[in-house]
Structure 1
Amino acid sequence: MGAFVNDATQLKGLIETYGLQVATVYMGGGTPTSLGDEDFATALAALAKLHRENSEFTVEAGRPDSVTPHKLATMAKLGVNRISINPQSMHDDILKAVGRGHTAAAIKELYAYVRSYTNFAVNMDFIAGLPYQTLSHMEENLDYVCQARPENVTIHTLALKRGSPLYDGVGREAMPEAAAVEEMVARSKERLEAAGYVPYYVYRQQYMTSQTENIGYTLPGYICEYNIRIMEERQSILFVGPGSSSKWMRAPEYRQLQQHMPKDVSVYIDTLSALLEKRSRLCKKFWEG
């Protein structure tokens, strides 16, 4: 954890040196809540020093079994104001088929706790096109959303990549037809808009199982700024930690410089000094010309 803190501390210094305004902070790209309570608090505290007051600060909490009251209290104390809870489906048999360890009941319990004990805005992700999924399943997912009313909901279409566990396992044989997936996405749009949600960002991925898009919906006044910025790729994005990628961008090229941190944690720790020196050079080159 010391390497991560050093990484974040050096980035804070660069932000101050070049007078940068951090628009959003996002802790995720995985499941950071899988860390133990103490390590999670240490990592979050390092990121909190990059956060600008009254700006968006999100933590991804994809696995409900990894989220503890202590972690939620830590988030609130350190300025987090948005949390991502990713059910994918509210059906235990489908969750089991795709290798998810949580249950629908655990999602409901976590969401209820967040609503009772925090003021966080909530992002939720659902997927259309999962194995064994039918339109009735999606209707039941939407029943839950319309009752629970998280501030943001993204309806993804399953992207089945060659070599993935789903592709090599149950995925191809049990997946619904493209027409059925398209109906799920269309029905999601119809019901969410009727419930007061507004579509605010859209994107496509490779290997999607139908001619549809991933669409993010928001209740009025609760747009997730991070989602828009990460999709537009029109601003510099500075990351911390193993497996992360920083991008220095400005018009008209919008991708002038990049740096990728190694995914292997041991390599990241062993080479951190050189990696941070490189980031300093890239920042100097980009902001000083």
Structure 2
Amino acid sequence: MTLIFIGQHYKYELESICKLFYHCQKIELEYESTDFNRDNLIITRKKKGKQHTFLLTIVKVNGQCYRQHRKIENDCSRYEKICERLLCEMVYRILSEYTGRRPKWGIMTGIRPVKNLHWDEEQGITAAETDRRFAEDYLVSEDKIKLCHMIYDLQKPIIKASRKNSVSLYVSIPFCPSRCSYCSFVSHSIASKNAQKLLPDYVEILDKELHHTAQIIKELGLRLETVYFGGGTPTTLSAPQLALLCKRIETDFDLSGVREYTVEAGRADTITEEKLRVLKQAGVSRISINPQTFRDSVLLEIGRKHTADDVIRCYELARRIGHSCINMDFIAGLPTDTVFGFYETINQAVALSPENITVHTLSVKRSSNLFAEKTFSVEELANPIEEMVNYAQDTLLAAGYLPYYLYKQKNTPGNLENVGYCKPGYEGLYNIYMMEEVHSILACGGAGVTKLVDQDTHKIERIFNYKYPYEYIDGFDVILERKGMVKRFYEQSNHEKTVIAGTV
């Protein structure tokens, strides 16, 4: 399929809408082309007249031709945004008519739909007006709007309880026992001898960065609210290595205000009794044990070297050791999985009764092995995955779980969402703070991204650590220098507020 832009360059949004219907297929982009005598074309044109702008979309596919047009006034507010939205709407409506499919998030391609509700309330926009915009401007279905409201209502008191000087700490462990076929994260398999050699140096440097970050938090008078070890698979580290990092956090950080301490234990083939005891003794309050599926054939297909029974044994071991808040991740749409196979997985998860269950939709990224191995068609994936997601939501709600956070990713069939569910009182706080950009997240480790948030102005800045472990180790001096941006951000924000207060 070729997407043509005439008189405008709304590349990102228009290409994203096309990919809803042509998933994992390459969209060729052309600008100001006049060669329309061919098939498989999506033509998007903006032409500005004296008083009005005329928007046209033509789709030529399989010998058929579809056309829609719109007209807006040149002096309307948010002119460019409206032009972009209307062109996206026309592409969406035409491709929905042609394919017979209507993705439920409409033309809302952003990853944080619930944040719109928080933002609108802050701006004094009524819930009714927000719902109208979701439904009419962005073509979002009624059930997805309802889901957003359920999550928003649950998040609201949690976000309100976060203080102005609150921050969270993210600790990145970009190593795994092997690389899953769907994975696009910067993660290194310790099956590689090079990765094994890097681990001791990586842990040593990470320990130093944690110490440095703790000093920054103390100097700025910030309050640590959550700690989150992610990756990769943090339990790829040995028990002594985990103990070293946990001890650094216990020693250097003020944990008196910490409301949640999470470690992604992740894969069953990395979890041992010794590691679980280290985490428990360190005060970790929440762990993730992530099966992705309870079907052994699917685990094998995606490159997991453990069985469903191994996962259950790890879960039961964690319970015996005293871990009282456990999350389990699952993915709808894994290769060779079936609708009924996924139903069985969700039923088994509910029977185990973890405090959190997170349901992801398969996202096929270009950097994953899965993308290289196969081109997926909408017909193969979108409808079955939607059935899976719907079943998971209905089953989990019936079992007493509540949706507490939601995000979307690119390259998901049907533009479907990822949702975290929890038993009442077991909301994953870090997930909410991170996804709704409530407060700053200070990241340590390879591929870590510090996100600095000014809660008053909504200003956001990011600080990137080096991605790869060898870069992280070799470039540690640069990373420490970049961490100085944290101080500058807070000092500048405080100065600007002081100046504003002095002029009032």
Q: Which TM class, normalised by the smaller chain length?
A: over 0.9
Candidates 11, 20, 24, aligned match of 2:213: 11
Alignment of 1:130 with 2:316, yes or no, is no
SS in 1 for 2:396: helix
- What is the identity percentage for the equivalent residue pairs of Structure 1 and Structure 2? 37
Cα offset, 1:169, TM superposition: 2.1
Candidates 354, 359, 365, aligned match of 1:150: 354
Residues 203-282 of structure 1 correspond to what in structure 2 (within 5 A)? 203-251=407-455, 254-280=458-484, 282=485
CA contact (8 A) 1:122 1:152 kept: yes
Matched AA of 1:20: L
Cα distance, 1:266–1:179 mapped onto 2, change above 3 Å: closer
Alignment of 1:52 with 2:255, yes or no, is yes
Cα offset, 1:224, TM superposition: 0.6
Cα offset, 1:163, TM superposition: 4.3
What's the CA shift string for 1:172-231, capped at 9, x where partnerless? 38x943111111111111111111111111111000012421111110111010111111
Cα distance, 1:51–1:178 mapped onto 2, change above 3 Å: farther
- The answer for the alignment partner of 2:292 in structure 1 is 88
- The answer for the alignment partner of 1:172 in structure 2 is 376
Cα distance, 1:160–1:267 mapped onto 2, change above 3 Å: closer
SS in 2 for 1:41: helix
CA contact (8 A) 2:216 2:487 kept: no
Matched AA of 1:191: T
Residues 36-115 of structure 1 correspond to what in structure 2 (within 5 A)? 36-48=238-250, 49-50=252-253, 52-53=255-256, 55-115=259-319
Residues 193-204 of structure 1 correspond to what in structure 2 (within 5 A)? 193-204=397-408
Mapped to 2, the partners of 1:218 and 1:51 lie a distance apart of: 28
Cα offset, 1:45, TM superposition: 2.0
Alignment of 1:160 with 2:364, yes or no, is yes
Cα distance, 1:279–1:161 mapped onto 2, change above 3 Å: same
Matched AA of 1:148: L
What's the CA shift string for 1:247-282, capped at 9, x where partnerless? 1111466454321111232332232233213312x1
Of stretches 16-25 and 208-217 in structure 1, the one that deviates more from structure 2 is 208-217
Matched AA of 1:31: T
Of stretches 243-252 and 201-210 in structure 1, the one that deviates more from structure 2 is 243-252
Mapped to 1, the partners of 2:380 and 2:248 lie a distance apart of: 44
Of stretches 89-98 and 115-124 in structure 1, the one that deviates more from structure 2 is 115-124
Cα distance, 1:102–1:47 mapped onto 2, change above 3 Å: farther
Cα offset, 1:143, TM superposition: 1.6
Alignment of 1:288 with 2:496, yes or no, is no
SS in 1 for 2:231: coil
Cα offset, 1:38, TM superposition: 1.6
Bigger CA radius of gyration: 2
- The answer for the alignment partner of 2:204 in structure 1 is 2
- Structure 1 gaps of 5+ residues are none
SS in 2 for 1:177: helix
What's the CA shift string for 1:87-131, capped at 9, x where partnerless? 110001111111122210111000010111123301111111111
Matched AA of 2:437: E
Matched AA of 2:461: L
CA contact (8 A) 1:25 1:50 kept: no
TM-score by length of 1: 0.93
What's the CA shift string for 1:18-75, capped at 9, x where partnerless? 1111111001121111012222211222234436235200001111111111111111
Mapped to 1, the partners of 2:491 and 2:477 lie a distance apart of: 22
Count of aligned positions: 288
Cα offset, 1:171, TM superposition: 7.1
Mapped to 2, the partners of 1:253 and 1:57 lie a distance apart of: 28
Mapped to 2, the partners of 1:275 and 1:202 lie a distance apart of: 31
Matched AA of 2:488: K
Matched AA of 1:9: H
Cα offset, 1:158, TM superposition: 0.3
More strand by share: 2
Of stretches 215-224 and 162-171 in structure 1, the one that deviates more from structure 2 is 162-171
SS in 2 for 1:57: strand
Cα offset, 1:161, TM superposition: 1.6
